[in-house]
Structure formats: C-alpha cells, structure tokens
A and B are shown apart, each in its own frame.
Chain A
Amino acid sequence: MVKTKRRSVLKLAGGTAAVSLGGMAGILATGRTPAYAQQKTVHWLKWVDFVPATDTLFRKEMMPEAEKALGVKMNLETVNGNDLQPRITAAIQSGAGPDLIMSFNSYTHLYANSVVDMSALAEEVGTREGGLFPYAKAICSDGKMFMGMPWAVIGGMVAYRKSWFDEIGVDKFPDTWETYREAGKKLKAKGHPLGQTLGHTFGDAPGFTYPYLWSWGGKEVEADGKTVIINSKATLESVKFMTGFWKDAHDEGGLAWDDTNNNRAFLSQTIAATLNGASIYIESLRKPEQYQTDKGQPLNKDILHAPLPKGPAGQFGFHLLQSNMLMKYSKNQDAAKEFLKWLHTEANYRKFFESQKGFATPCTAKWESDPLWNVDPVMTPYKVAARLGQAIGNAGPPNAKAQEVLSKYIITDMYAKAVQGMPAEESVKWAESELKKVYEV
C-alpha cells in the first residue's frame, strides 16, 4: 500500500501556483489564499421585472455569460419593487449586502453618501450612445458625481380603449386637459369612466399628479430648492379643475387604488383609459383569449397609448427611472464595475432592450431611433419617455427633500383632499405648509 505523506498532501493542496512559490510555506508567506479560491461574487439586487422574459433572459443566458466573460460568480436576486427601499436601508445600515442595487428615481440622492461614483462609466456610455438625457442626469447625478448608473425608464402613458373613444366621436386621443375632460364625461355617462389613482401608491399616483401640476405651471420650489412656490395661481387652477374633472370623468373609487387596481379595472373593461406602464397591453398580448372586448375581439387590438394631455404650461411626464447603485460597503467594487461595464456594452444592453419590447426606454439618445420602436406601433409612444421625463422637486433639484415630499404623498394628497371636498384654496395651503416644513428647514 502506498503511503501518503503529510508533506505531499500539503503540497498538493497548495496547487500549482502555490508549489511554484514554495508549497504551503509560500502561501503562508504571501498571507493570501490561492487565486482559485478567490473567485469574486457580484451580488446584484433588482426588481422583479414586469416583463418576466427579461428576468428569464438574465438568469438563464446573461448571468452565465457574464461569469464566463469576467471570471466572476454572479448572484442575481429579484424582489418586489416596493421592497427595494427596506433592503437598501438595511444593507447600508449594517454595511453588508448586495454589491449592486437597483434604484428607483431619486433614491440615488437619498443614498448618495453610501454609493460609489459612477461618472466614468456614465460618461463613457453617454458619449458612445449619443448623449444621456437630462432627465437621467438630473436623477442620477448631483453635479459632482453619478450616484447611480442610469439603466432605463419605465414610461407612463395613458392606455386607452380606441373603440370606446370612437363611439363618443373622439378619433384622436385628446391632447388638452379640457378635451380629455369632455371625452371622459361622455365616457363616464356610458359607464366607462377614466381610471386614475389618487391613493398612497408609489408609481401611478405621483406619475399622474406631478406632470399634471407641471402642465398647469405649478412648481414645488424655486430653482434654489428652498423657496416654496406651490401656492400659486397655476396650482390653484389645477386643483379647481381637478375637482370637477374627477367628478365628471373619473371612477371615484380611484382614491383607494394602488398600482395594480387600474390594471385590473382596465382589463375587466370597467374603465376607458388610465395612466400606466405598458403592462396592461403586454398582459393583454400574453393572454388574448382571456382578455376580449364586448364584441368578442382580442382586447389588445383595441388598446392604444398616448402621453398625458397638455396644460397651459406644456406637456410633461414623470416616469420611473431605474439606475444601478454600486454600494460603498461592497468588497467587490472592481468586479461589480466591470460587470456594469459589460452589461452596458451595446450587444448586451440590446438583449435586455429587445426582451422588454418597449416596456423600458433606454436613457441615451441613440436608442430612440432603434428599429424596435417600429415593430409594434402601439408601443411607439413610449420611445420618448426618457426624453420628455421631468424629475421631482421642480424647479429645484430632485434631491432628498424632493424625495421626502414624494414619500409623504403631499402633491398627490393635495389633489386627493380637494376631490374629497376640501376647498381648493385650503388644500393648496395645506400642501404649502407641508412643503415649507420640508424645504425651508
């Protein structure tokens, strides 16, 4: 029987690299474990995509490719969008957690102290792809650094029932609030009101109330980010109009809706139009047999998208902007940066972009002219989401204070209070006093 000596086992365990350095003694001398034991793991936390095909693509195809190309191990974790913030808070406070975390809108400004500057990559990608849109820049950068690497915009457009608008003699989606209200009045009389949430929900409520306010000329603060100017004639007009608009044209249950209620209401044909991402349309495409019109046609053939109407001060949108934050506590910053760089190469980003079929709009100009937007005309309106988007905190920066106003639903509640019966002047004054407590301290 061949005897195995202790010394030979140690030498074997050291591996070839270690042997060349002088066996275990060499390893111990360097104070480092052998290179093969050091494979880094990059942990990426992102939302559960509303387009399941994208998550499948990441898991089955792109993560293994990244592992091969970069020599790292990838750990992709997906959570519900609403659960990102508790996870970020816990990770930062404990100094441990995912290396890369997806951020929604101004989270970047909230967690600026805990992230690594991504300016180099953002500028590289921006230059290569025809320029980064100002919306993405405002949300991801504070002028000194990029707190997040801009990823994509989930556009919010009005999904509407073409045939029902045709029935009331409106063959083109209304482009002003007045004409939209008139159309909504007729639709509500026919039992198909407009659907809009004014509840405490992160996406569709502020996605409607902020652009609505801006379109009337209402602003939270001056450009200094301190002087509150919400109590203006423009805001007051917007609130007064909203109270009548709500009663005339809307489904009044909307006060309690979350981000899913309007999807259900639209798909079950109780509302004629609602502000949403493309998820209603995508769902109707996935299940054409289940979702049919009252005339027995597939519902997806009767859905079109349009941007929110314009007001006296113009036409705006507030869309969900996603970015990826590289956390300061991460011990794998270089590997995580390399991964992001790899992900943002044109070939790899295209895979993601195409899997979304228009649900996500890239943050750089180049993609706006991509042939994908011509594949399905129903999705075409989403191509301008990143270009037309405006950040919260207008006319100041979308900083932590603006995020506080958003999180407290002050703008949304200003309208909700008015439609519940509070005089318009009082609801605007209430919003002003709340905004002052945030911005002027």
Chain B
Amino acid sequence: MAVTAVSGVEVRRPVPRLRRLEDERWLALALLVPTAVLLGLFIAYPFFEGVMLSLSSSRVGIPGEFVGLKNFSKIWDDSIFRTAVWNTFWYTGVTTVFKLALGLWLAMLLNRHFKGKALVRAFILLPFIIPTVLSTFAWKWMFDPTFSVINWTLFHLGIITTRINWLGDPDLAMTSIIIVNIWRGVPFFAISLLAGLQTISPELNEAAAIDGARPWNRFWYVTWPLLLPVTMVVMLFSVIQTFADFQLVYVMTGGGPANATQLFATYAYQIGIGTGLLSEGAAISLAMFPFLFIIVVVQLLYIRRVETR
C-alpha cells in the first residue's frame, strides 16, 4: 500500500534544460540576461553608435565615411568649444558646492522635529518636481531684461537705481543660470541627505554630547563621517546631471550672450541639429565622456575607501 502511494506522487524530474538552472552560475546568468539586454540595447548600443558617428564625416542625410579623430581635432581648435568646456566646469563646480552646502543645511533643519514637518518636506521638493522647462520659463521672466520682477523689487526697496541686466551681461547671465540650477537641485540634495541623516542613530550624537562635544564637533566628528557615503553618491548623480545640462540653458539664454553660457550639451545641439553636422555634434557630446569618466571614477574610488574604512 505504502509503496503504491509513494509511486503515485512520484515527483516529475525537471527536463534537463531547466535542471541546468539548479547550477547557480547558470541561474545567475539567466537572471542577468534581461538587464544585460536592456543595458545593451539602450545604453551600450547608442553609446557605440555615438562613438562611430563621432569618428565619421556624417551629416544629416549623408552617412559619411570614417575620418578618425578629425572631428575631435576640429572642435579642439574651436574657440566656442573651449568656452563651452570652461563654462561647463564652472557651472558644474559652483552649483555643486552650493547645492551641497544648502542641501545639507536644509536636511539638518528638516531632521528636527517641528509642527507641519511632513508638509514642509513635501513643499521643499516642489522645485525638483515641476518640469524643468516650465520652471525655467518662470525664472526667465523673473530675469527678463525689461520686466524683471527681481529688478522691480530691488528698485522699490531702494537697493538699486538702474536695472540689472541679468541675462544680457556675460557674468550675470552665468550667475543667473547657476542660481536657477541651484534652486532646482537643492531639494534633491536635501531629501537624499535627510534620508542619510535618518539612518544615523541618535544615540551616537547623544553619547558625544554627554562626553561634552559641542554641536559643531558633533557634526564634524560624528554626523559628517557617517553621512559621507550618501553625500558622495548624491554628488555623483548631481555632477553627471549638471555636467550634461541642456534644458535650463537652452530656455534661459540659448547659450548666449556671445556664448557666455554655452555648455557642452547646448553646443552639441547647436552643431548637430542646427548645422546638421551630426558627427561633430556627436564629438562634442562625447568630449564630455573622458571628463565625466574621471570624475566618476575618482568619486567611486573615494566612496569605496570611505565605506571600507
């Protein structure tokens, strides 16, 4: 009887092909395939195409031929490109410092308990949530050379007597786009750093306080080192995004006046689309890559060092 029962529920052995997945190596491979295909299709392939494009003499509608590094040597000799390189570094550097400082400050404030905390946190995110083009148009009107509400306010407060040419002066135009980028980026820093702050056990700070550490020392020796890995990751994202920024500058100044706010992405668009020189546009875009690559590698190495400390 027992024998019959056992034979009745005999487990069907998996077919050999599926049995292979019992091996962890094959299973891992199978699980990785969808991701690999997606990455390959949407990142590796376009990247490869971009590289090939930058090494050709392709224009819109003309496939062109392989020209080696000619496009890169041409853009290197291009004063507007050099201006764009300098502008991009300046824009990224200044905005990142301010976004980090203000974001951290905001995160520390939001980490305290106060009435309406949830509401304030939600509002803080607004600049980050509103579509960039929309908010940038609002800023553009605020910086308008003729109708600037900022100028109007400063004038009526008696702070200025003549209007400030926000987007018409080269330095002020750069300052303006930096201000808008900071405004837009601070919430991302603040919320991400706030998440990091909340993972730090309050007991550590309390212990330090009992030992007589002042607030600044508590921040510098307890909070900051624990927050550093999160900070580095947030900075990494921000640097990549800011370095390749397009919409904001395109809407505010179009790269002007006289290329004072021209960045990598805006110049690549101007050449690739405006002039139809696809290969040169691709070369300008790709020229970002080594700079970004170095920045990313340095940051990732630093993150690893911090984490293994």
Interface residues of chain A, those whose CB is within 8 Å of chain B, are: 85-86, 88-89, 92-93, 110-111, 113-114, 198-201, 251-258, 261, 264-265, 268, 270, 400, 403-404, 407-409, 413, 416-417, 420, 430, 433-434, 437, 441
Contact = CB atoms under 8 A, between A and B. Distances in A.
B165 A93 contact: no
B185 interface: no
A200 B61 contact: no
Given A268-B147, A408-B270, A110 B276 contact: yes
B214 to A, nearest CB: 48
Given A253-B168, A261-B146, A437-B78, A199 B254 contact: yes
B60 A92 contact: yes
A437 B77 CA distance: 9
B32 to A, nearest CB: 31
Nearest to B172: A256
For the complex of A and B, 8 pairs with smallest distance between CB atoms: A253-B145, A256-B167, A255-B168, A200-B256, A114-B61, A407-B274, A200-B254, A256-B168
Contacts of A89: 60, 272-273, 276, 278
Contact of A200 (B60, B147, B170, B255): B255
A416 B275 contact: no
A258 B252 CA distance: 9
Contacts of A254: 145, 168
Interface residues of B, number: 37
Interface in B275-298: 275-278
Interface string B254-275: 1111110000000000111111
A151 to B, nearest CB: 21
Interface string B201-231: 0000000000000000000000000000000
Given A253-B146, A254-B168, A261-B146, A113 B62 contact: yes
Interface string B62-97: 100000000000100111100000000000000000
A258 B77 CA distance: 29
A201 B60 contact: no
Contact of A252 (B165, B270, B273, B275): B165
Contacts of A257: 145
B245 interface: no
B163 interface: yes
Contact of A199 (B59, B74, B257): B257
Nearest to A417: B258
Contacts of A413: 256, 258-259
Given A199-B168, A403-B276, 19 more contacts: A85-B273, A89-B278, A111-B276, A199-B253, A201-B256, A253-B145, A253-B163, A254-B168, A255-B256, A255-B258, A256-B168, A261-B146, A403-B275, A408-B274, A416-B257, A430-B79, A434-B80, A437-B74, A441-B74
Given A199-B253, A270-B146, A404-B277, A416 B258 contact: yes
Nearest to B170: A420
Given A89-B273, A430-B79, A258 B257 contact: no
Contact of A110 (B60, B145, B168): B60
B275 A404 contact: yes
Contacts of B60: 88-89, 92-93, 110-111, 114
Contacts of A251: 145-146
A246 to B, nearest CB: 11
Given A264-B147, A416-B257, A256 B80 contact: no
Nearest to B167: A256
A256 B173 contact: yes
B188 interface: no
Given A255-B168, A420-B257, A434-B79, A407 B61 contact: no
Contacts of A86: 273
B172 to A, nearest CB: 9
